[in-house]
Amino acid sequence: MLSYRHAFHAGNHADVLKHVVLVLTLEYYQRKDKPFWYIDTHAGSGLYRLSSAESQKTREFAQGIQALWNAKDVPETLQPYLDQIRQLNPTPTLQNYPGSPWLAAQRLRPYDQLRLFELHPSDVKHLGNNLAHDKRVYINQHDGLKGLLSLLPPITRRAVTLIDPSYELKSDYADVITTLAKAHQRFATGTYLLWYPVIERQRVKQMVKALQQTGIPDILQIEFCPSADSNGLGMTGSGLFVINPPWVLASQMQIALPWLKQTLAAADGHSTVAHLQG
């Protein structure tokens, strides 16, 4: 259960999709002066060096953030995300990639807060080194799905939650839906981002069906697959189910995804932006 290390995958196409959606969602929440929480159930270490042995072993970032680094004619909707990558890499060379906690910490205001969960002992140590100095940040070495439920409803009555387990265990696919349904019962107005990998299409269909059966009314599915579906031979893409999405998010991603498909040379791929029907 603790064998997964995100350092091997930092900056890949799945990170790009996940973090674009996250940054746009946080940007939308900042339009109101009222404080909010950012909750991350599987925070990782928060910051990754692309020159590390882990990143260099897989070089997944080459088909992700590296392809975007020197891209031209970037759509305006992607600028907030890329601006944060540039902030972390002030030189012309792409060297570092942020995890979701770092991205959130840069965007949140002094009166907002971050609640971060991470189980892996090495990653939670690095997470502390990277972000524990920030007084807005609370780090827990705890099961993030259980930890999430203990925080709801937040005292701010406003929160963005990212749920992105490794899906190492096949039970994770069902567990995240169960947790999300319970979370929505406790705090129905929060925005939840549930990330999923596309490895076997049937599993994604099962997640869609299970979500529809929860009765949660406002669910946006955003998916980007650089490669065509395969029979479980690796991750061909990824997606997010967004509960209570910002009203502008669908139109923003309808602009962003075709550009990503072209920039990442995903000729065989496809994308989806659609509201689930109950």
Give the residue ranges of the annotated binding site for S-adenosyl-L-methionine: 19, 42, 100, 118, 143-144, 164
Catalytic, 164? Answer yes
Closest to 272 measured CA to CA, from 246, 229, 238, 235 = 238
Q: Cite the annotated binding site by residue number.
A: 19, 42, 100, 118, 143-144, 164
Report residue 267 as tokens. 């000729």
The CA distance from 13 to 235, in Å, is 10
Q: Which of 164, 172, 175, 229 is catalytic?
A: 164
Contact 209, 231 (CB under 8 A): no
The catalytic residue positions are 164
